[in-house]
A and B are shown apart, each in its own frame.
Chain A
């Protein structure tokens, strides 16, 4: 939607060039949290992955730094665009998302195995990661779209269906973690867009029935829906010391890594990571690697930056100049919150192992770029709210 020309406020005039480019209007706290997290990630990768690839001690560090630079640039670029345009493009965005995740599914079939990425010259592009942001942008648009023409039940059902389709596709890839993220995004947008409480109650009932079917009935009749390892992962965290060699091995090693970090960390003696006892220490279990090396201090710093980021995301949700912005903001906030909680929860043994990356901290090109793009969209919502507010009545805090 095009921005409507309006008289400049006093603030803008005094801000000069910064105001015209929109750069000075971004939310400094949000930018600080995002950049702070990626700096934590680069520093942590630099210390913990030196022995990962023989002969190339800074393989992950250098790549993550490159992703960071590109990601930050994307964040600033998106901050300058009026996010409301995405609402008009919702059908295209949604189709692009479905197309790319279906494409990767077929490439995976062609390669006779699970594949979640498309090989690009410089990195592996993971469409399902980008899909998280695309789903937020599209679904928020659809949520408003449907508002005046349907009954409440129809509207809820359609939104659910629109969210359920991509979730099902990535679940088949198989990528359970991302499917859950899509589900949470859908629920969050439904929730913030005002879906009646009784709809959620009905959904809860259906969900309970589905879980019962997936976990109890389907295996009993010989058609298990979850892969064996997925089921193991989902249940093993409940009693991690049962079978140290199996699926809860990761949880056990992560708990040992985190616990042994103590208050201030083990520094150079961080054997859990150095000896590779902790698997996936630079991706899914990066949090444990940080917690082992820098202890409670390091882990708490990272968590605080996330708390800051999510608080700002919720705040921007309320500052938005229109409903679309609020829904997008809430979708992004829930997406970040869910990923942080599931990943850190998995590291500390509160949640099952599901392969959800820790945004900006886990090593991974697509995840870093998409998270920065999401932050860029938040910035755009913030910038637009500042531009449309008369004077400086609606300030950042």
Chain B
């Protein structure tokens, strides 16, 4: 329950954070803390220095950026859930935010922190993958932008380098689409056993495009391309569901075996597509 000792510095700006992160070996960014503090407490991780970016208020925003929404990395789940811009232009993200953890977690956890932590069972990484969002990263060499699909590289692993700070997430506005996020859990507060995001654009009985991403079906979010391609009309849902397992490599744990997760993913893809198409 008591973390091992560490040093603590408050970053007053992103630049300051980058500088502080470079000041020590094994420094870590502290955002909302809802991924990091549980690990510290169980002493699963023992950084030498925490750089708290929680006081950089300019990282907490949702802005209209033309065809995209720009969401500050330190925006809390609760604010993502209730933000009118997110609700209007990206309702699936708002909806998914409301399913993360519990209200207390949503009051503190941040979208940037969740992405940077890259837990395969977390909701945001896969939802943002389906949304084809981009991640803005600030490091010692300046700013760079990485598609979410390339940002997460494995279990708890991302392209972030030791001095990098995730500053913003850019999410394309959805426009008229049908969407669904189905999160299967045993209890409301749990991480997803499997989650499915489906976003469908359709016209006159055909499906123009679909984006399907799976949560917790591999070490990183899975974009189910084969399933997307299989879906050209609403009648193809079953075929799309069957194709959705391509590229998956689900874990086996107390929430379900890999076999069960594969079965569940097919069922949920079918249901999510049904919901997205009829919504």
Co-complex (A, B):
no
